[in-house]
Structure 1
Amino acid sequence: MISETRYHGIVKASAWFDLLVTLPFITPWTMDILYSILRHQHHYWQFAGQMHDLNTANYLFANLMGSVIFVWSLLRILRTDIVTGRLDAVARYLFCLWQLYAWQHGFSSLILIFTFFELSFGIAQSLPVRRNASSSEPVLRPASA
């Protein structure tokens, strides 16, 4: 069990990580730069799998995802709480699932580096929290039958 203060620090750190990692996904121009860097690393380190050329639909969905994650990151930085940390953990597990799916279907194993961070932050944000005595934050509890 971790303290609420420590938990808030984890949520904020994960938000800053997301902000920095996904910032290049916000525009097609910055995405071009990022993807060329990732492709270069894929080839340089001889990762298994492939990194295909991107089309307009790839850019659209990546830019939409980058924009949503950018805003979600800002929310977690400005309003850090247990609820957003728990919801972010769920999102991270979903991201892990789809990254592993892509990897299993031939995408570059470079994705597993990102999966490691998603899983690590997801686990950290799923840890039980010891509430601070002065906290007025709502607690998520299972509904009673």
Structure 2
Amino acid sequence: MTPSQPAYLRLVRASAWYDLVVTAGFVTPWTYALLHTALSWTGETLGLGALPAREPMQVLYADLMGSVVIVWSLLRLRAPLPAHGLYDGVARALFSLWMAYALAAGASGVLWPFLVVEAAWGVVQLAPWWRTRAGAAGRRRTGRPAAGEGV
């Protein structure tokens, strides 16, 4: 799959639907309160640990993140472009990095499922770009298509 193929744009759109569903609870202080309670209960039940108590600054950052991700999701749903997949993949790599950092610093293990899914979405959205760059680099060096690449 290359970033210019319709399958890649379907992938970009699917990641946007995932974000819309998962992030909706972060958009308002009221929905975040419900989500926080549910995630804490789940973390405790599964032995992963609860989230820290809600505080005004935490709620603000959760709501800001939720708002930006929802708008970004709507953009990718309305007009998916290959570049949207590239930038979303990079953002997911950054999100994954910071989640891993938080987990290493002792954050609740309830982050693990989110980290796994973020990293997976990042890989599947960035892989076609890596393959495209590798193919282009091979063509520049040899003047021929890279192995497995069409003419």
TM-score tier, shorter chain, comes to: 0.7 to 0.9
- The answer to whether the Cα contact below 8 Å between 1:50 and 1:106 also exists between their aligned partners in 2 is no
Which residue is equivalent to 1:74?
74
Q: CA offset at residue 50 of structure 1?
A: 5.0
Which residue is equivalent to 1:41?
42
Which residue is equivalent to 1:114?
114
Q: CA RMSD in A?
A: 1.9
With structure 1 as the length reference, what TM-score do the two structures score?
0.85
Number of residue pairs matched by the alignment: 131
How many Å separate the matches in 2 of 1:105 and 1:50?
A: 15
CA deviation map 1:13-52 (0-9, x unaligned): 00000001001100000000001000001110111x5521
How many Å separate the matches in 2 of 1:95 and 1:43?
A: 23
How many Å separate the matches in 2 of 1:127 and 1:100?
A: 21
Q: CA offset at residue 127 of structure 1?
A: 2.1
Name whichever of 65-74 and 121-130 sits farther off: 121-130
Gaps spanning 5+ residues in structure 1: where? Answer: 132-140
CA deviation map 1:118-144 (0-9, x unaligned): 11110110122699xxxxxxxxx9xxx
Q: CA offset at residue 93 of structure 1?
A: 0.3
> Which of structures 1 and 2 has the larger relative contact order (alpha carbons within 8 angstroms, sep 6+)?
1
1:83 and 2:79 matched: no
Name whichever of 49-58 and 28-37 sits farther off: 49-58
Secondary structure of the structure 2 residue equivalent to 1:128: helix
With structure 2 as the length reference, what TM-score do the two structures score?
0.81
How many Å separate the matches in 1 of 2:27 and 2:50?
A: 23
How many Å separate the matches in 2 of 1:22 and 1:50?
A: 19
How many Å separate the matches in 1 of 2:128 and 2:41?
A: 40
Q: CA offset at residue 66 of structure 1?
A: 0.3
Gaps spanning 5+ residues in structure 2: where? Answer: 137-151
Q: CA offset at residue 91 of structure 1?
A: 0.3
Task: Select the structure of larger CA radius of gyration.
Answer: 2
